[in-house]
Amino acid sequence: MTTAILASTGGIATAAAPPSSAVTHGPCQYTKTPDEPAARPVPLPPDPRHTPSRGTVDVAVPTSQGPLPLRLDRAKAPCTVQSFLHLARHQFYDRTVCHRLTAYPTLKVLQCGDPTGTGEGGPGYKYKDELPVDLPPAPTDPTGARRVYARGLLAMANAGPNTNGSQFFVVYGDSALRPNYTVFGTVGATGLDTLDTIAAGGIQPTPEDPAPVDGTPTLHTELLRVRPVHSS
């Protein structure tokens, strides 16, 4: 199933290994997806009774195009942050490419997090949405249905309600989307410079579309490592 957007470790909480059943027993209820096995072997995340829901975690993400530092916000999306850190600790994201860049007038994002590089891969589990409630209305949408996912936001891609896995997107230009995508952090200033470089490189043309606005970034962008470095 394609996952997409439509049109210092100190202080980081740890928990016992999750059960071997198909669903974890904590509030996040990470659920195995046997029909969509993990692109890289990884267990279900820990799911403690009290999911850490305060503070932030800084994550270092060196890429082949420059640094992409992230700051995860537990208060906005505790289950999402918990899953992302779990995947990072298991080196799930290391040496993976960002497979999608969009340049629509109302959708400007870079999408990453699939070890297969196809947009089809994930961690072999899914979990619930933690949807934003504080995004401003998009001025380009008179119906009021879409919200502004502002430049610098970090959010989960999905294939429909409650299908979060490993794929995420970073916003390099204000975008108008229905609020169906969990926001769980932000990109640091040096990361925005990196995103601008990638976006300026454009999207690989194809025989069918010599000037695409959605596709593979021309500048090969690989996440070299993803590591939590500090929590507060």
User: Is pLDDT above 80 for 130?
Assistant: yes
Residue 185 pairs in a beta bridge with: 72, 154
Q: Is residue 42 part of a domain?
A: no
Q: Is residue 92 part of a domain?
A: yes
> Among candidates 170, 141, 217, 145, which has minimal Cα distance to 70?
170
Q: Is residue 33 part of a domain?
A: no
Q: Is residue 37 part of a domain?
A: no
The overall average pLDDT reported for the chain is 92
Average pLDDT over residues 176-181: 98
Range from 27-31, 99-103, 119-123, 227-231 carrying the lowest mean pLDDT: 227-231
**CATH number of the domain residue 88 falls in:** 2.40.100.10
pLDDT of residue 188: 97
Q: Is residue 70 part of a domain?
A: yes
pTM score: 0.91
Question: The domain containing residue 98 runs over which residues?
Answer: 57-132+147-202+211-231
Burial, 214: exposed, middle or buried (Cβ in 10 Å; 0-12, 13-18, 19+)? middle
15 vs 127, which has greater pLDDT? 127
- Count up the domains in the chain and report the number: 1
- Whether 128 and 172 have beta carbons less than 8 Å apart is answered as no
CA angle 197, 85, 91 (to 5 degrees): 75
User: Is pLDDT above 50 for 17?
Assistant: no
Q: Is residue 49 part of a domain?
A: no
Beta strand 222-223 pairing with 66-67: unpaired
Q: Is residue 140 part of a domain?
A: no
DSSP secondary structure string, 42-73?
A: -PPPP--SS---SSEEEEE-EETTEE--EEEE
Q: Round to whole Å and give the CA distance between 31 and 133.
A: 25
Q: Is residue 39 part of a domain?
A: no
User: Is pLDDT above 70 for 58?
Assistant: yes
